[in-house]
Amino acid sequence: MERETVVVKGTTLPKSYELNKFYEFPVRDGDVWICGFPKSGTTWTQEMVWMIMHNLDFEGAKEDIHIRVPFAELSWAAPHDENSPHHARDTLGFIKKEYEKGPVCLKTHLPWQLLPRDIQEGLKKPKIIYVMRNAKDQIVSMYHWNKMLYGYNEPLEKFFEGYLKNEYVYTPYWGHVFGFWKQRSKPNVMFLRYEEMSKDLPGMIRKVANFVERPMSDEKVAKLVKHLSFDTMRKNPAVNNENLIEKCRKDRGLEKSETNHMRQGKTGSHKTEMPPELIEKVERWIEDNTKGTDFVF
Ligand code: A3P
């Protein structure tokens, strides 16, 4: 939110990203790309997919999620960005090392039109899992993330205006969602929703496991459900980003946060957080952006 930004192919991005370089990213068929607009359940999906791909390696899962599932554009396109909160420089070497061993899982928040050439042109077909979340809950989650990480202290109404002006990194939100929605019928693309994960996590684990060609026994699904529960993830330092949050806050002279990345983990949290006038405004924005399309919430 504080970084200098530029607009590239319609998307607001940190100035430090070298996207020409990212376009040439060495994509491989067997890898899994976890994509999504920030605060849509990316970390939840990353942990699920990594565990599935690594046959529930609970020991290995103690390593930080940013190391196990590198943030692709930061590692590759902004390795020297000192302002990056995500240890980008450590993950670059990791990707290269892991590439020698087998498939890797990568995360990106970039929109479809900024993914590497090999993906866009279909030259390589890694599995692509896109996770989306109801826009109203996503906005609330993003708002709290900015408060938590950077001490943002404007009201939610004001924060939402940044969506309308595409001020935030990775906006526009709808361009992001539609970019992947249009790709959803490709056999290597899966469009997943946070709300479905909340409603039926075991069912979603099975679907994802089949999609990445690692079908799982019921016993393993049950173990993974426990590991992925909100309460377990909230206490798990490998995924809850408590160190990252603390560092960001400390750099800005803020006290230690009482919450972490796993804030509420609920669907419909906007109902208690957004004033009715704002809900109406956001719903109008949703309608304006989805009418005349085949998109269904
Ligand atoms: P809230 O802020 O609404 O709690 P991302 O990983 O893309 O940044 O998304 C963060 C959101 O996913 C946060 O939402 C977080 O709580 C939620 N989340 C992460 N792990 C979860 C889990 N195991 N169960 C439910 N929600 C989870």
* Host domain of residue 201: 5-290
CATH number of the domain encompassing residue 14 = 3.40.50.300
CA 147 to chain centre: 18
* Reported ipTM exceeds the 0.95 cut: yes
Asked if residue 232 has its Cβ within 6 Å of ligand 1, the reply is no
Asked if residue 133 has its Cβ within 6 Å of ligand 1, the reply is no
Measure 234 CA to ligand 1 centroid, in angstroms.
9
User: Which tokens is 103 given?
Assistant: 């498939």
- Per DSSP, helices labelled H in 151-217 are 156-164, 173-181, 194-199, 201-211
- Residue 297 covered by a domain: no
* DSSP 8-state class, residue 61: G
pLDDT of residue 240: 94
pLDDT of 84-126, one tens digit each? 555 545 556 667 777 778 899 999 999 999 999 999 999 999 9
Give this prediction's pTM.
0.95
Measure 29 CA to ligand 1 centroid, in angstroms.
28
Domain count, the chain: 1
Mean pLDDT, rounded, for 150-178? 96
Asked if residue 262 has its Cβ within 6 Å of ligand 1, the reply is yes
Q: Which residues are catalytic?
A: 109
- Residue 221 covered by a domain: yes
Measure 278 CA to ligand 1 centroid, in angstroms.
22
Mutate to test the pocket of ligand 1, among 65, 147, 263 (most ligand atoms within 8 A of CB): 263
- Residue 46 covered by a domain: yes
- Residue 140 covered by a domain: yes
Asked if residue 269 has its Cβ within 6 Å of ligand 1, the reply is yes
User: Which tokens is 129 given?
Assistant: 């899992």
pLDDT of 125-148, one tens digit each? 999 999 999 999 999 999 999 999
Nearest-atom number in ligand 1 for the CA of 44 is 20
pLDDT of 211-255, one tens digit each? 999 999 999 999 999 999 999 999 999 999 998 888 888 888 999
- Residue 37 covered by a domain: yes
- Residue 223 covered by a domain: yes
* Nearest alpha-carbon partner for 86 in 68, 96, 98, 71: 71
Are 46 and 83 spatial neighbours (Cβ–Cβ below 8 Å)?
no
Asked if residue 43 has its Cβ within 6 Å of ligand 1, the reply is yes
- Residue 199 covered by a domain: yes
- Residue 295 covered by a domain: no
Closest C-alpha to ligand 1, atom 15: 262
